Structure 1
Amino acid sequence: MEKIDFSPYSIIKDGLKKLKDKESKVVTERFGLGTKKKTLAAIGGDLDLSRERIRQIEKDALKKLSLYLVSSHNEKTKKLLNILESESGILHKKSAEKMLLKDSANENDTNALNLIMSIMSEVEEIERDDHIHDSWILATIPRKEVASILKEWADYLNKNNTPAKIDVLLEAHPHHLKHKISFLSALPKVSKKIIQNYQGDLGLSSWPEFNPKNVRDKIYYVLRKNQAPMHFAEIGRAIQNENFDGKKVVLATIHNELIADPRFILIGRGIYALSEWGYQSGTVRDIIRAVLKKASGAMTLADITKEVSKQRHVRKNTILINLQTNKEFKKLSTDKYILSDQQ
């Protein structure tokens, strides 16, 4: 999405010039515009005014700024509104900042953007609670219902203890269908307790397969997402790219966890797969033994290599050496191999 082509801070700075000195000071310090944010009480102490009087000054000042935006910057505020509408009418504040502000934007622009959004009549603020992050929502959407919907979904997931697609949740809660599907589909992005993964499944943020906290679970997550074996260095890069919690992961730690956790199987030089994909633990010799044991009769080197290669990324020569140097494998006069105890 294209970022906004104006500075929210510049707009607000111009608007502050239209206010009385006390009004400008209160707004500037309440929203942290070029200075640290202050509480109503702190500002009241500076101006020798009561907390309630500062609240009234702030309210009057924001009303004036709102009129200023409509009269002088209507097209720019419309652009913000259009972006919110394109996001189905609800947007996590942090997501709004990332989506709308240029990389060169500073804290003043961030705080000014939040100020502008808060005084737009078409937009309302949702304050964070146990179920939802602080967000912006179109005034035409009943904001109280957002937390209610998310709570019902979280309770359903917790009770069933299994991931679900959004259509399953809606089938279980048909009364939610009075809202647009696009809006309902956007709700996991603002939820604290529900996460939508790369497969479109919804799960609880407390589930490690959706929100991994330790290195082992992060490895499991990226392998499942990749759906194919990966080199441990590639796994490390994938974890960093996911940016689960912003913590850096040391390759040596990843390697140690891959070795220690039975969910991960070494199938080649530094290449790991998930055991749930059908990969077996053990050495190349163990895999050859399992292949021959499963076979209905003797096998050629080519057939053995084909089957072993489904489990391990090894050269044909490595398989041949194992067949020739281990007494548990026997070569027949037909150039085929069997287990020695199968004679």
Structure 2
Amino acid sequence: MLDNQKKKPALKEAKKAGSGKKSSFSFFLALENLLKQLPERSQSIIKNRIGLLKEKPRTLEKTGNIFGITRERVRQIITDSVKKISQKKDHPDFARAQSVLFFTIGQNSGIMKKVDIVRKFSQGKEEEANALVFFSSCCSSDLFFESEDIEESWILRKTVVEKVEQVKNAAETILAEKKKPLKEEIFVDEIRRKIPESDLTQKEILDFLRVLKKIKPNKFGKWGMADWKEINPNGTREKIYSVLQEKKKPLHFAQIAKLIDYFQLGKKKAHPQTIHNELIKNNQFVLIGRGIYALREWGYPEGTVRDVLKKIIKNSRTPLKKEDILNEILKIRQVKKATVLINLNNDNIFVKENNCYRLK
């Protein structure tokens, strides 16, 4: 056990890291100090194998070739080294590193995706990421968990898995009933109502949702099944659909392209002309103005301004005044008033009587 003087800096560093603030703690430096407890040859083999020399991790075979030993011998040296380091729990660097790691997982309700922990502490430095992953293997084999439903994660206690499964089951039932993505606060409230006997907090529910494989948030902060197009849109058409659904209003194709980039729906930049071409050829979208498109499911009729005017007047039991026609068409088309009036002046189609219009 560590004495109080050794525990205090470890806990202080752990709280600093767990608070979300940038931590000065380095798993790379901690591991460097811990490796000094091993023979120099073992140190070199580990550094080459796991990538602590500002290079990519090397395979067992390549590492063995460097040191003139077999793959199995490399594996054995790594395994023995992990055992030796894991026995150094009283070492200040081990204590600090473990405190930081465990405190951070604890701050995330006792479970956290491996990729999120690595991203948090590596800050883009590969040697930091490699050091953290290696150090974690020296802590406890019970630290690691992955299943059909839960991403590769690090946990503090196995009992947390039962709580995650409870949230997963409730979430899947809710999404099966709603059949659409839900805003985060609504989704969490629904889950809490589904499991009233549970005392889970909002934060715990969100932390548990984040480690699930089949339930994910989209770029707009709504939750749904990972294979739903609203959650994980694939291809230009689905990305356009997602943007229009989110904004709930017709948009110009250039604005749609900008929003696809803004919400990071694709890895590559969205080109306005590519978006326009998809809008033109896909029956899911309707042109309602100059370069402006809506979703057909919203009820917008297709056709030219003239076609829409004919439909409006035809569906009316009595001739319509100009103002009434303008009000109706502006509900379903983004068009200039002058354009409407020019079309109404077509005497071959429309007849004006007593300041009202009817079809000829």
Please tell me the TM-score bracket, short chain as reference. 0.7 to 0.9
Going from structure 1 to structure 2, the CA distance change for 1:266 and 1:8 (only over 3 Å counts) comes to farther
CA RMSD after TM alignment: 3.6
Give the aligned residue type for 2:80: I
Name the counterpart of 1:205.
226
Does the alignment pair 1:135 with 2:177? Answer: no
- Which position in structure 1 is the counterpart of 2:358? 338
Aligned match of 1:189 in 202, 210, 214? 210
Q: Partners in 1 of 2:79 and 2:207 — Cα distance?
A: 36
TM-score relative to the length of structure 2: 0.75
CA distance in 2, matches of 1:50, 1:76: 28
Q: CA deviation at 1:220?
A: 0.6
The structure-2 alpha-carbon separation of the partners of 1:296 and 1:136, relative to structure 1 and needing over 3 Å to count, comes to farther
Residue 101 (structure 2) pairs with residue 60 (structure 1): no
Q: Deviations over 1:10-51 (max 9, x none)?
A: 332233233322442354244322243345676567445647
1: CA distance, partners of 2:56 / 2:243: 40
| 1:37-116 correspondence to structure 2 within 5 Å | 37-38=57-58, 46=67, 47-48=69-70, 50=73, 53-64=76-87, 66-68=89-91, 71-72=92-93, 78-102=99-123, 105-116=124-135
Q: Is the 8 A contact 1:292 1:339 kept in 2?
A: yes
Q: Give deviations 1:210-241, integer Å, cap 9, x for gaps.
A: 21112111111121122222221222222234
What does residue range 1-343 of structure 1 map to in structure 2 within 5 Å? 1-34=20-53, 35-38=55-58, 46=67, 47-48=69-70, 50=73, 53-64=76-87, 66-68=89-91, 71-72=92-93, 78-102=99-123, 105-120=124-139, 124-127=143-146, 129-137=147-155, 139-142=156-159, 144-145=161-162, 148-149=165-166, 152=169, 156=173, 162-163=179-180, 165-168=187-190, 177=198, 180-197=201-218, 202-244=223-265, 246-325=267-346, 327-332=348-353, 334-340=354-360
The whole-number CA distance in structure 1 between the counterparts of 2:260 and 2:215 is 21
Structure 1 residues 263 and 126, CA gap change in structure 2 (3 angstroms): same
Distance 2:289 2:94 in 1: 61
Q: Distance in 1 between matches of 2:272 and 2:200?
A: 46
CA distance 1:63–1:194, change in 2 (3 Å): same
Q: 3-state DSSP class of the match of 1:246?
A: coil
Distance in 2 of aligned mates of 1:293 and 1:114: 71
Give 3-state SS (helix, strand or coil) of 2:210's partner. Answer: helix
What's the offset of the Cα at 1:158? 8.6
Give per-residue Cα distances to partners, 1:149-201, cap 9 Å, x unaligned.
Answer: 577468647966824735545655667x3655532322332222212346765
| Distance 1:20-1:150 versus aligned 2 partners, 3 A rule | farther
Q: 2:151 touches 2:213 (CA, 8 Å); kept in 1?
A: yes
- Kept after mapping to 2: 8 A contact 1:8/1:112: yes
Q: 1:256 to 1:210 in 2, by over 3 A?
A: same
Alpha-carbon distance between aligned partners in 1 of 2:358 and 2:212, rounded to the nearest angstrom: 58
Amino acid at match of 2:43: S
Distance 1:56 1:91, change over 3 A: closer
Q: 2 CA distance for matches of 1:144 and 1:40?
A: 33
State TM-score, norm by structure 1.
Answer: 0.79
SS in 2 for 1:136: strand
Tell me the amino acid that sits aligned with residue 209 of structure 1. Answer: E
CA distance in structure 2 between the partners assigned to 1:197 and 1:67 by the alignment:
44
> 2:355 corresponds to which letter in structure 1?
D
CA contact (8 A) 2:216 2:225 kept: yes
Mapped contact 1:292–1:298 kept (Cα < 8 A): yes
Which runs of 5 or more structure 2 residues have no equivalent in the other structure? 1-19
